[in-house]
Amino acid sequence: MTSTTLSPVPTAAPADASREPGPAAARARRKRVLHWIAVHSVAIAVALLFILPFVFVFLTSVMSDSQAMSGDLWPDSWHWENYKAVFETDGFLDWWKNSLLYAGLGTLLTVCSAIPVAYALAKFRFRGRRTAMILVISTMMLPPQVIVIPMYLVWAQQFHLSGTLWPLIIPMAFGDAYSIFLLRQFLLTIPKEYIESAKVDGCGELRTLLKIIVPMAKPGIAAIALFQFFYCWNDYFGPQIYAAQNPASWTLSYGLESFKSAHSVNWNLTMAATLLVMAPVCIVFFFAQKAFVEGVTLTGVKG
């Protein structure tokens, strides 16, 4: 990530200041201070708007049942036991287990399958390379709803796997377009010379990939792993299609909505559950901020 060299625009032209040292310099300094104040006030206001939803959700999550219905902003007493109640709800722990299974296994399979494909697309020269890239991007752009019906029919009728998460996990062993694209963009930035010198040293393609490229591409691999983990963790549509009939296969993202429906009056418990669904994502983010920001940047900026 670009180190935050903050203001790209110098606030005062230095030539100006040297010509008229006295009042001009003072004016420039006053302008700079006003600019600082203006920018930071706007930033603080916007930051408040972004953070307040979390604060309200948290405060409601520790209110009593009746207070959560009242529209009060601050809890009269702190009911930490709401969190315990959420965990004791039927199915909540299973949803965690399923989410971890889907996200964990899905991420592992995606990473393993995306690495060789991205490497070939970034570094091999072959006919149809451009076409292949266009197809990858097309898949990436395709709304999942377009192909879901025939896919569902295959998994349900041929493989009898509806009611499980396997129809979501298995395809990840065959390359995810978004991860392939992102990793390819990253691999493009690795100079050819590393690969050539590995070849001179007698490495085959597979050895070059595993011994040279993978260690160098760790930040890119971390980024696709994180994105895939979050994609699976947040996925609602997939579990709704395949796991809906079988509550034992629900994930956290899917179960949360039914949780609200079952506790139709308990906004406090719902908000506690909501925070518990968000928590892993926030924790992972704090440990892996850099990989994240790099990944997001890669999607938008040419490799």
Nearer to another protein among residue 93 and residue 206 (C-beta): 206
Q: Does 10 bind another protein (CB under 8 A)?
A: yes
The footprint of another protein on this chain (CB under 8 A) covers a number of residues equal to 114
C-alpha span between 208 and 119 (Å, rounded): 11
Q: What is the CA radius of gyration of the chain?
A: 26
Q: Does 7 bind another protein (CB under 8 A)?
A: yes
Nearer to another protein among residue 225 and residue 271 (C-beta): 271
The correct pick among 17, 24, 85, 151 for binding another protein (CB under 8 A) is: 151
Nearer to another protein among residue 5 and residue 77 (C-beta): 5
C-alpha span between 253 and 123 (Å, rounded): 38
Q: Does 27 bind another protein (CB under 8 A)?
A: no
Binding mask 229-248 for another protein (x = CB under 8 A): -x--xx-xx--xx--xx---
Q: Does 43 bind another protein (CB under 8 A)?
A: yes
C-alpha span between 91 and 81 (Å, rounded): 18
Nearer to another protein among residue 56 and residue 194 (C-beta): 56
Q: Which of 271, 251, 220, 253 is nearest to 58 (CA)?
A: 271
Maximum CA pair distance of the chain?
A: 84
Whether 294 contacts 219, CB under 8 Å: yes
C-alpha span between 197 and 68 (Å, rounded): 65
Q: Does 33 bind another protein (CB under 8 A)?
A: no
Please report, for residues 133, 137, 174, 224, the alpha-carbon distance to residue 130 in angstroms, rounded to integers and kept in the order given: 5, 11, 20, 22
In the window 78-137, what residues touch another protein (CB under 8 A)? 113-114, 116-117, 119-121, 124, 126, 130, 132-137
Nearer to another protein among residue 93 and residue 134 (C-beta): 134
Q: Which residue is listed with tokens 């287990």?
A: 97
The correct pick among 9, 23, 215, 287 for binding another protein (CB under 8 A) is: 9
Nearer to another protein among residue 93 and residue 149 (C-beta): 149
The correct pick among 26, 93, 147, 248 for binding another protein (CB under 8 A) is: 147
Nearer to another protein among residue 24 and residue 244 (C-beta): 244
C-alpha span between 184 and 91 (Å, rounded): 40
Nearer to another protein among residue 98 and residue 113 (C-beta): 113
In the window 269-298, what residues touch another protein (CB under 8 A)? 270-271, 274-275, 277-278, 281-282, 285, 289, 293, 296-297
- Listing DSSP states for 150-174 in one string gives HHHHIIIIIS--TTSSHHHHGGGGG
In the window 45-74, what residues touch another protein (CB under 8 A)? 46-47, 50-51, 53-54, 56-57, 60, 68-73
Whether 186 contacts 303, CB under 8 Å: yes
10 Å CB burial of residue 124 (0-12, 13-18, 19+) is exposed
The correct pick among 21, 23, 143, 191 for binding another protein (CB under 8 A) is: 143
In the window 165-204, what residues touch another protein (CB under 8 A)? 171, 173-176, 180, 185, 188, 199-200, 202, 204
C-alpha span between 150 and 222 (Å, rounded): 33
Q: Which stretch binds another protein (CB under 8 A): 22-30, 78-86, 215-223, 262-270?
A: 262-270
Tell me how many degrees the CA angle 55-60-66 measures, rounded to the nearest 5.
160
C-alpha span between 85 and 105 (Å, rounded): 29
